[in-house]
């Protein structure tokens, strides 16, 4: 949503369901580890290889259908190919690219495919990086996921970024970004490819550069850690906040079972000129989530809210950290004033992995309640073939939007 409209904003997937909090440094470390193994010299004292490459290819198809109470159903099917390439050299240089293609297979309404996939092909990642020999300092230029804190939107961003080790587990992440793409994916949820845009399109006076900073894993004792962040764009927003995480083993059990409490607090400070939005104000937002988990099971409950102040918390590259798959009312527009309570979990039945969630909330600005149920499933048919799907149902207490259901499935082969 732009800063000067009250129209409904499209639903956004919740990052916490697909964790990104490890940030830039560990992402590059994972790429390097996949390419070079442990990073230690082989037995016999031989040096590591001068150059290593890693290639992934995934092919498949997906179908998505949406049924509304008072409108015709809509359906769409597409094929997909996703290629990931990473390169690393002993000199400390590294690079990577991700390309996706999504040819249309079927649509039951003219123009539906073009609304979901503005392009049938996208270069989501294309970057060059460098690091010091010990990996303590790393830097990148190009396009990739600079997902360094909860209020940075998009599947990929374009710009420069760096990660610096500050001692222990603490890392400083920085990024200066000029372009971004909200959705660039082949996933069954039919977010599609939304197209690249400049950060300056947030409003007519928006600055040309978006700045993001976070400090990860500031330890305060054995069980508590902080991850403060700041995001800023001239004439749009300045957001100050922190993720606060408390984690402790379940008493009487080993470390496999843990209690975890995650709190995200963010203060959205308005920067939009009065000439554009004379009634915009600063606003607080927060999310608290408690869970009991181990590697193959979790159950949790949480609450999410935005205060009673007018402000576009999702302007341009800024975003909210709403927890559900759709969250149509949270927020619906720049009037905010909302709260949501939710339950979520993850568990396995044999090879079948399930992630259910249930959310009940109210948007006071619209005087409307909603109930949303999500279920994400994944089943490996073979080590290389995966069947995935999801079901969403949303009810509203008022006719702000029609009640609807979504269902989708995909079948993919990983080379």
- Alpha-carbon distance of 89 to 51, in angstroms, equals 4
pTM of the model: 0.85
Three-class SS state of 148: coil
- pLDDT at residue 39 in the model: 35
Task: For residues 74 and 206, give the distance between their C-alpha atoms in angstroms, rounded to a whole number.
Answer: 36
Specify the pLDDT at position 88: 92
Strand pairing report for 156-167 and 170-181? antiparallel
CA dist 239 and 232 (Å) reads 6
Q: What is the pLDDT of residue 21?
A: 33
Residues 228/218, Cβ–Cβ less than 8 Å: yes
| Residue 256, pLDDT score | 84
Site of tokens 């399109």: 201
Closest-CA residue to 158 (of 175, 173, 138, 178)? 178
Give CA separation, 120 vs 66, 185, 299, in Å. Answer: 21, 11, 38
Separation CA 244–CA 252 (nearest Å): 25
Question: What is the predicted pLDDT for the residue at 44?
Answer: 38
Give the pLDDT confidence score for residue 50 in this predicted structure. 65
Q: What is the pLDDT of residue 35?
A: 34
Collect the ranges in the chain with pLDDT lower than 50: 1-48
Instruction: Please report, in angstroms and rounded to a whole number, the separation of the first and last CA atoms in the chain.
Output: 38
The pLDDT, as a whole number, for residue 72 is 66
> Residue 49: its pLDDT value, please?
53
């Amino acid at each position: 949503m732009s800063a000067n409209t009250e129209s409904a904003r499209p639903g956004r997937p919740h990052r916490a369901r697909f964790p990104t909090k490890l940030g830039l440094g560990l992402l590059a470390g994972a790429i390097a580890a996949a390419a070079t193994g442990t990073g230690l010299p082989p037995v016999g004292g031989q040096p590591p290889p001068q150059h290593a490459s890693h290639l992934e290819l995934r092919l498949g198809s997906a179908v998505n259908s949406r049924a509304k109470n008072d409108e015709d159903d809509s359906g769409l099917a597409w094929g997909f190919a996703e290629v990931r390439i990473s390169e690393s050299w002993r000199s400390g240089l590294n690079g990577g690219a991700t390309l996706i293609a999504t040819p249309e297979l079927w649509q039951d309404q003219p123009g539906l495919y073009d609304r979901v996939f503005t392009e049938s092909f996208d270069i989501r990642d294309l970057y060059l990086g460098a690091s010091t020999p010990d990996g303590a300092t790393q830097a990148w230029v190009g396009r990739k996921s600079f997902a360094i804190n909860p209020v940075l939107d998009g599947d990929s961003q374009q710009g420069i970024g760096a990660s610096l080790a500050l001692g222990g587990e603490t890392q400083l992440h920085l990024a200066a970004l000029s372009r971004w793409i909200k959705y660039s994916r082949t996933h069954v949820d039919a977010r599609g490819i939304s197209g690249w845009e400049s950060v300056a399109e947030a409003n007519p006076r928006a600055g040309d550069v978006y700045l993001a900073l976070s400090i990860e894993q500031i330890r305060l004792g054995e069980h508590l850690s902080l991850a403060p962040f700041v995001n800023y764009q001239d004439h749009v927003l300045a957001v100050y906040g922190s993720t606060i995480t408390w984690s402790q083993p379940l008493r009487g059990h080993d470390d496999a079972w843990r209690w975890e409490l995650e709190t995200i607090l963010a203060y959205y400070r308005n920067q939009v000129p009065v000439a554009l939005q004379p009634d915009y104000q600063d606003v607080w937002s927060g999310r608290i989530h408690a869970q009991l988990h181990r590697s193959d099971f979790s159950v949790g409950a949480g609450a999410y809210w935005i205060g009673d102040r007018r402000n576009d918390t999702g302007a341009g590259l800024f975003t909210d950290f709403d927890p559900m798959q759709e969250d149509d009312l949270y927020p619906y527009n720049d009037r905010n004033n909302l709260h949501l309570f939710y339950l979520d979990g993850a568990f396995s039945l044999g090879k079948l992995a399930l992630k259910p969630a249930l959310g009940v909330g109210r948007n006071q600005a619209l005087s409307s309640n909603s109930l949303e149920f999500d279920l994400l499933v994944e089943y490996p048919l073979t080590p290389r073939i995966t069947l995935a799907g999801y079901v969403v149902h949303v009810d509203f207490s008022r006719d702000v939007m029609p009640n609807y259901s979504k269902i989708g499935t995909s079948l993919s082969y990983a080379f």
